[in-house]
Chain A
Amino acid sequence: MAPEDIGDDELALLLNEIVERYGYDFTSYSTASVKRRISRLFILDHFKSFEEFRKTVLTEKNYIRRFVQEITVNVTEMFRDPGFYKLLRTQVLPVLATYPFVRIWHAGCSTGEEVYSMAIMLKEVGIMEKSLMYATDINPDVLDQVMKGIYPLRSLKLFSENYILSGGKEDFSSYYTAKYDLAKFDDELRSKMIVSTHNLVSDRSFNEFQLIICRNVLIYFNKPLQDKVLELFDASLEPRGYLALGSKEQIKFASISSRYEQLDPKEKIWRKLQ
């Protein structure tokens, strides 16, 4: 079934049934994106009709986990947008280094490539010991991958190029061990990660942070949900804390925008004023 063949009404009905049955709320997600993801699931899992799909989602116990995993987009890479990481390394981490403790929240961290990127930078800046990285996602399966820190070896060429472009000076291959077609990152990098499920739609703030990183997550939300999540981040950031989003994400039309200043005209990092 092509995305354009999924009716708005049948989709809205199913998403409401999913909230009632499982508590997962996708009703404020981008309709066009959800339709594409469902269309993709149709092909992967060989559904013949929307009704068959709906029945499976609502009655087959284990299928909702797959639904959540496949509806959410889990495409990410290490040091994605190297200019962004360069700015973190040169302007944000030196400020955080002056604090006694550093708490960083990676919201919607997916399989964790960007969390490992942060761990590498914290180590290189010399503040790993006093830092904690909270890695959260709606999807428990991707968090298993964060815990493992194992990525396909074929991705490492890109990761390594990104690392160098972001200002990394070490030998990138010293951070992982390659075996067959996989690369496993050092356990030390994971030692300061706290991994947990968290649903940005329904869960509340759980700590105060100096830096919140949430990249290419808000693009899948409608405007009211974007505003709500930005309020959640604002409530979870210390005064003078930093908020970092994806390269095409904005806070300028959100209610919190007057309380933030952008560090750089290009990279999407803002600092809370007070």
Chain B
Amino acid sequence: MAKATVNGDFRVVAMGGSAGSLEVILQAFRELTNTRIATVLVIHRKESLHSALPEMLNTKSHVTVKEAEEKERIMPAHVYIAPADYHLLIEPDGTFSLDYSEKVNFSRPSIDVTFECAAAVFGKKVIGVLLSGGNADGVAGLKAIKKAGGMCVVQNPKSALVSFMPQHAMNELEVDKTLGSGEIGAFLNSIQ
């Protein structure tokens, strides 16, 4: 399939986490200084945490952390968080859209949905990162990223509070890299 042309030449990190991932994410974004990449973050969480999250994740660097808004264009130096209770989709022109359709893997937002969209739109520029969790969500999405020529990274199941999600990914596909819970921030900063 022909890839749509998206303005700009930057890597897109598609990151997903479920149970046990929040601490890892908080640490990673405290350390994040890389303004060359765009990060799209899907976390399964309770609605009550929803509005606090962009604030909690705000970095001290020049990276802007915000909730993804529909029709907003994906830009480097930004971390976009999927809003609670909507799937976060990416259009062929590199803008976000939101979707209130059925839950996928008992989840809305679903990591698979966003990962698959990222793979379709950004192809080999995508780096999929799957963190701690007790759900199979994200594995099909990582496969799509792999198929599109992107890179697949998982949190080392041994370092994950809940190992099921990254372990399931490692069982199902050949991941390119595993990272300890404290290594995510440094990895993000190393992406050119």
Interface of A toward B, CB cutoff 8 Å: 2-9, 30-33, 35-37, 73, 75, 216, 219-220, 223, 246, 248-250, 253
B10 contact set on A, CB distance < 8 A? none
Is B148 in contact with A32, judged by CB distance below 8 angstroms?
no
The residue that B120 contacts in the complex, of A4, A73, A248, A253, with Cβ under 8 A, is A4
Closest partner residue, chain B, to A32 (CB atom)? B89
Flag whether B86 is at the interface (Cβ < 8 A). yes
The smallest beta-carbon distance between B140 and chain A, in angstroms, is 8
The residue that A73 contacts in the complex, of B100, B144, B148, with Cβ under 8 A, is B100
Q: Which residues of chain B from 121 to 157 have a CB within 8 Å of any chain A CB?
A: 144, 148
Is A31 in contact with B91, judged by CB distance below 8 angstroms?
yes
Interface of B toward A, CB cutoff 8 Å: 1-2, 4, 69-71, 83, 86, 89-92, 97-102, 113, 116-117, 119-120, 144, 148
A6 contact set on B, CB distance < 8 A? 1
Say whether chain B's binding surface is mostly helix, strand, loop, or mixed: loop
Is A32 in contact with B100, judged by CB distance below 8 angstroms?
no
What CA separation (Å) do A102 and B83 show in the bound complex? Answer: 34
Closest partner residue, chain B, to A223 (CB atom)? B71
The smallest beta-carbon distance between B69 and chain A, in angstroms, is 7
Once A31-B92, A32-B92 are accepted as A-B contacts, the answer to whether A220 and B99 lie under 8 Å apart by CB is yes
What CA separation (Å) do A181 and B20 show in the bound complex? Answer: 36
The smallest beta-carbon distance between A261 and chain B, in angstroms, is 20
Is A75 in contact with B91, judged by CB distance below 8 angstroms?
no
Q: What are 8 A-to-B residue pairs whose CB atoms are below 8 Å? A: A4-B116, A4-B144, A7-B1, A73-B100, A219-B98, A219-B99, A248-B98, A249-B70
B144 contact set on A, CB distance < 8 A? 2, 4
Is A8 in contact with B100, judged by CB distance below 8 angstroms?
no
Closest partner residue, chain B, to A33 (CB atom)? B99
